[in-house]
Chain A
Amino acid sequence: MNVVQAVGRSTLGLLRTAGSVAIFAGRGVSATFSAPWFGGQFLRQTVAIGYLSLPVVGLTAVFTGAALALNIYTGGGRFNAEQIMPQIVALGITRELGPVLAALMLAGRVSAAIAAEIGAMRATEQIDALQTLSTDPFRYLVAPRLLAAVLTLPLLTAVADIIGISGGFLVATSTLNFSGPLYVQNTWNFLTSWDITSGLIKASVFGFIVALMGAYHGYNASGGARGVGRATTHAVVSAAILIFAADYILTSLFSGK
């Protein structure tokens, strides 16, 4: 009986949280598409989320592309198929690793920062102050972050795609004796526009998840400094899990399987 109760309680808790996140997301999206808009906040968030994430996303992409090239070269060698390495690297980066790794980097950097900032604002009554100053916190805090993340993560992913493929190129030409022009030509001829577009669509969805988790956990933070710390952890962990889950669902939808 106790086990049944525990399972029931956990299920209800999960459903309550899912409902709460869905309502929060709905309010955030609604605030994004209705006036008043806070352009200054949006620009500030675009710089913080997009521009300032470039180094970490770029470094992650270059090392991942290089490592991927080595692994595929080694694995392909077992079937005498080393020469398809450029194509597989390009496909892996654009469809999967570019958007997922960029999103995971943002989950660590941006989700945490959003949760900490909004959580600290909650703890110091700044969110209450916004309301007393006739300003909807969803419009001022949540909407600009959601919009900035949804728009900038695809751009970051495009950069990650280029740098990741370049990482594979560097390893291939410097240590695996591939011809540079041939590598580029093989990659270019193989990739379709959908390979790139599907990755960018994924990135947009991941951007929404990253900002949503940061804002949701920060907005609902309670218990002072400890609560802010807890919100930050929850934001990063939940964003990472949801990114992987969304990745599978989107890949399944895109492949029709």
Chain B
Amino acid sequence: MSEPSTPTPMLELRGVMKRFGDKIVLDGVDIPVAKGRSLVIIGGSGQGKSVTLKIAIGLMAPDAGQVLVDGKDVTRLPQSERAAHNAQFGMLFQGAALFDSLTIWENVAFRLINADGVPRKLARERAVEALTRVGLAASVADLYPIELSGGMQKRAGLARAVVAAPQIIFFDEPTTGLDPINADVINDLIVEQVKRLGCTAVSITHDMASARKIGDEIAMLHKGKIVWRGPASQIDHSNNPYVDQFVNGRADGPIKVEL
């Protein structure tokens, strides 16, 4: 009797390894993410969260292993195919990574104008609409990133990530550097936008409030391996000593802080 077939994950990291010099950062990481699900990867600093995200989105090549998007191996796509492939991705960077020399609307509409060939007038309309969705006034459109607060920059970064309706969105430490209220607003916006687009989301964070709010599932990365994965609702009952120590923020436990 054959086993029931499982749907192809929208994004899958399979046996991914990465080392920098002698330091092994990722040691055979397997992370499948089902279509329409939101996975949050937690873990301490220097445990390979950012490297995982960069490999998933194609900014870094793994030493071994594969990255599959909707079942297609995209690990070592040539540069010419990479741009087209990235069209299905959106990403909110930790510091928003808005382009200093462009206005907010030009930042938000960057992909539309430069990659998708949307006329500037139409691109501006879509950018302003996206800004409104993340709670920014239309008047912000003509300002430069330097004129915005950190929270507003994050919102603009979110608008840029979702404006082209991507199939997979990546969030890199979305609440870092924000006060608790602004962090909660960003979390709400992320949940709202991911739900509206029906897309798959992968986030990395060490903010547990954020992880609980934006994730359907949570995976913990420690020393280059996934040491636990489960529903977000189970994070406080994982019975995993690494997760317990991390979630409760205790100095004592199996995780040793390297000084």
Which A residues are closer than 8 A to B by beta carbons? 36, 38, 120-121, 124-126, 128-129, 131-136, 140
The smallest C-beta distance from B167 to any residue of chain A, in angstroms, reads 13
The smallest C-beta distance from B127 to any residue of chain A, in angstroms, reads 13
B32 neighbours in A (Cβ, 8 Å): none
Picked from A132, A133, A134, A135, the residue with its CB within 8 Å of the CB of B59 is A132
Report how far A132 CA is from B114 CA in the complex, Å. 12
The answer, yes or no, to whether B95 is at the interface (CB within 8 Å) is yes
B99 x A126 contact (CB < 8 A): yes
Which residues of B from 25 to 79 have beta carbons under 8 Å from A?
Answer: 54, 57-59, 79
A125 x B115 contact (CB < 8 A): no
Picked from B58, B82, B91, the residue with its CB within 8 Å of the CB of A129 is B91
Given A126-B99, A128-B59, answer yes or no on A133-B115 (Cβ-Cβ < 8 Å): yes
A125 x B114 contact (CB < 8 A): no
A135 x B110 contact (CB < 8 A): yes
The smallest C-beta distance from B168 to any residue of chain A, in angstroms, reads 11
Beyond known contacts A128-B97, A135-B83, A136-B79: 9 more, CB 8 A cutoff: A124-B97, A126-B99, A129-B91, A129-B97, A132-B86, A132-B170, A134-B111, A135-B111, A135-B115
7 closest residue pairs by CB, A with B: A134-B115, A129-B97, A125-B97, A134-B83, A133-B111, A132-B91, A134-B86
B82 neighbours in A (Cβ, 8 Å): 131
Interface of chain B, main secondary structure: mixed
Report how far A126 CA is from B111 CA in the complex, Å. 13
The smallest C-beta distance from A222 to any residue of chain B, in angstroms, reads 12
Report how far A97 CA is from B179 CA in the complex, Å. 57
Nearest A residue to B59 via CB reads A128
B247 neighbours in A (Cβ, 8 Å): none
The answer, yes or no, to whether B93 is at the interface (CB within 8 Å) is yes
A133 x B93 contact (CB < 8 A): no
Given A125-B93, A125-B97, answer yes or no on A131-B86 (Cβ-Cβ < 8 Å): yes
The answer, yes or no, to whether B118 is at the interface (CB within 8 Å) is no
The answer, yes or no, to whether B94 is at the interface (CB within 8 Å) is yes
Which residues of B from 88 to 102 have beta carbons under 8 Å from A?
Answer: 89-91, 93-95, 97-100
A133 neighbours in B (Cβ, 8 Å): 86, 110-111, 114-115, 160
Which B residues are closer than 8 A to A by beta carbons? 54, 57-59, 79, 82-84, 86-87, 89-91, 93-95, 97-100, 110-111, 114-116, 160, 170
Report how far A133 CA is from B160 CA in the complex, Å. 9
A131 x B110 contact (CB < 8 A): no
B87 neighbours in A (Cβ, 8 Å): 134
Report how far A216 CA is from B58 CA in the complex, Å. 21
Picked from B89, B94, B110, the residue with its CB within 8 Å of the CB of A125 is B94
A140 neighbours in B (Cβ, 8 Å): 114
The smallest C-beta distance from A90 to any residue of chain B, in angstroms, reads 41
Nearest A residue to B57 via CB reads A132
Report how far A136 CA is from B170 CA in the complex, Å. 19
B110 neighbours in A (Cβ, 8 Å): 133, 135
A136 neighbours in B (Cβ, 8 Å): 79, 83
Report how far A129 CA is from B82 CA in the complex, Å. 14
A120 neighbours in B (Cβ, 8 Å): 100
Report how far A126 CA is from B59 CA in the complex, Å. 12
Report how far A120 CA is from B97 CA in the complex, Å. 11
Given A38-B114, A126-B99, A140-B114, answer yes or no on A131-B58 (Cβ-Cβ < 8 Å): yes
Report how far A140 CA is from B160 CA in the complex, Å. 18
Nearest B residue to A125 via CB reads B97
B93 neighbours in A (Cβ, 8 Å): 125, 128-129
Report how far A165 CA is from B171 CA in the complex, Å. 60
B114 neighbours in A (Cβ, 8 Å): 36, 38, 133-135, 140
Report how far A36 CA is from B100 CA in the complex, Å. 22
B83 x A124 contact (CB < 8 A): no
The smallest C-beta distance from A132 to any residue of chain B, in angstroms, reads 5
A38 neighbours in B (Cβ, 8 Å): 114
B94 x A134 contact (CB < 8 A): no
Interface centre among A38, A131, A134, A140 (most CB of B within 10 A): A134
Interface centre among A124, A126, A131, A132 (most CB of B within 10 A): A132
Given A38-B114, A128-B59, A140-B114, answer yes or no on A134-B95 (Cβ-Cβ < 8 Å): no
Report how far A126 CA is from B97 CA in the complex, Å. 5
| 21 pairs, A vs B, C-beta closer than 8 Å | A38-B114, A120-B100, A124-B95, A125-B93, A125-B95, A125-B97, A126-B100, A128-B59, A129-B98, A129-B99, A131-B59, A132-B57, A132-B89, A132-B170, A133-B111, A134-B83, A134-B86, A134-B114, A135-B110, A136-B79, A136-B83
